[in-house]
Structure 1
């Protein structure tokens, strides 16, 4: 683990800028994707060890991919993962989530001698307002769970408010090959319960040292996060780049000895090759509906039979 490499970060952000503003020859529209597809990918990410850490981890690994774009459930590289509970023209109630990777505390100076950090997964309903697929506002209370080896415990709650802007274009590449380009910029604010905050900021007296005082974590504001993501696809091949900046200046636990930095910067790059897909096309985003909508429709049809 090392601190952020400023030279590489400047190069990476410059690459994002060049790719995002390159002139493009727009075509009429992007072809409809398949209902499902699978492939293999290779990715690299650099991320802070934990919220407000001043040390970073690097992760590079191959991974399988599966994308599905159905009527109620969608999990792909455009919209992320979401299950529709209820949906109208502008509003929807969805099930979604997020999480953070575990950490071996012996590899982080600030947490040396403390318990390892668990794999944390958050999930729950989120209320979404969407404007034609370009602007989106999300508000969610997520339940959190922490996986400590062979057991899982409840880990409090995380509260998220997020504004998202999406764009897409269709272009011709240097060899007249079609290239589909999509991007997302998101501004997110997070707060959390005391139990959630204890995972990252609590210092039990038994782990206190001369340079790490005991500390009782408290509920409140966690961070602001600005993220950028862009995808380039041609045929069966896709390239992904992204970066995020998290600000902990207003964190409720800024006094914790484990709060080591007001700013965390993460970035990553990945590529996927698609090996197989369905012959059936995906359900268009405007044709998706929630399971509650479908239940109400079926109930109405049973009460009022249609000849």
Structure 2
């Protein structure tokens, strides 16, 4: 993988890793600017046994307006707060892969970097004061592949998922935990890009294969964050299961199980004196306090 290529899309990939760093507590500043660094291990593509390690530092900026928000997780607009719902912009990326580094894809075209963008409709299902917040998120993203010289559309992804999140305080340290799980669905064009084997690339141990659209497996994600003052540290673990996926029998699939692990650190450098407006949709309930003096929840 060439270094310029990696660096260009590494910043975008870092946005996902840095989202694990941010567990925004109520009454954050209206805006902040800082510096973050993150690293992660990830497979060449879903179902591949070959893993890569990537890390990169980058600046970040966050804005938390009454109706509009821009953060490391993307852009969002609260259009339906009276319904406990929010329409946001959902983003995701993946780095390019060199076919020569993966035995299953030997002599096949390289996998270009991909960029995913689309709307996400998020509903707050239940909020427990000082406890858990439960949400239903429904992102639908168009996926594009690029080699930095051209861009091509490779289909759509749909990833409805249930999310439970909670913040709590232990002394002067704020902790956050987010759990999510849900299925993935994708168009045939998307599956073709990663799992098709054209007849000209077929061989005895890699027969021709034509992937179909539909069910694309399921994902479960765990994010744990720690914050004290202007410093935030977070880790995430994402489990990917391809059992029952429409392309699971592709000769390019090595395994139905994969694990992505990452860690990030962020340091806030500048912030506004003005606080962000409260929002029943965006903000979690006030953190429960746990310390030596008081072990009761919700205080």
Q: Same fold (TM over 0.5)?
A: yes
State the SS of the aligned residue for 1:93: strand
State the SS of the aligned residue for 1:135: strand
Asked whether the 8 Å contact 2:76–2:86 carries over to 1, the reply is no
Moved over 4 A (4+): none
> What residue in structure 2 maps to residue 47 of structure 1?
42
Higher mean C-alpha displacement, 33-42 vs 80-89: 80-89
Unpaired segments of 5 or more residues in structure 2?
2-24, 283-299
Q: 2:86 aligns with which of 78, 82, 92?
A: 92
CA distance in 2, matches of 1:223, 1:137: 18
How far off its partner does 1:230 sit? 1.2
CA distance in 1, matches of 2:270, 2:114: 32
Higher mean C-alpha displacement, 56-65 vs 248-257: 56-65
1:68-87 → structure 2 map (5 Å cutoff): 68-76=63-71, 80-84=73-77, 86-87=79-80
> What residue in structure 2 maps to residue 159 of structure 1?
158
1:127-276 → structure 2 map (5 Å cutoff): 127-130=121-124, 131-132=126-127, 134-172=133-171, 178-276=172-270
Q: 1:57 aligns with which of 45, 52, 61?
A: 52
CA distance in 2, matches of 1:136, 1:204: 41
How far off its partner does 1:85 sit? 6.2
Asked whether the 8 Å contact 1:168–1:183 carries over to 2, the reply is yes
How far off its partner does 1:232 sit? 0.5
Compared CA separation, residues 50 and 99, structure 1 to 2 (3 A): same
The TM-score normalised by the length of structure 1 is 0.77
Compared CA separation, residues 287 and 216, structure 1 to 2 (3 A): closer
How far off its partner does 1:141 sit? 2.7
CA distance in 1, matches of 2:212, 2:38: 35
Asked whether the 8 Å contact 1:103–1:117 carries over to 2, the reply is yes
How far off its partner does 1:188 sit? 2.0
The TM-score normalised by the length of structure 2 is 0.79
Larger Rg: 1
Asked whether the 8 Å contact 1:86–1:94 carries over to 2, the reply is no
RMSD: 2.0
Unpaired segments of 5 or more residues in structure 1?
2-29, 173-177, 289-307
* Corresponding pairs, count: 253
CA distance in 2, matches of 1:276, 1:112: 48
Asked whether the 8 Å contact 1:71–1:287 carries over to 2, the reply is no
1:104 and 2:98 are equivalent in the alignment: yes
CA distance in 1, matches of 2:257, 2:61: 33
How far off its partner does 1:31 sit? 6.1
CA distance in 1, matches of 2:281, 2:186: 35
CA distance in 2, matches of 1:87, 1:268: 33
How far off its partner does 1:254 sit? 1.1
CA distance in 2, matches of 1:270, 1:214: 41
Asked whether the 8 Å contact 2:68–2:78 carries over to 1, the reply is no
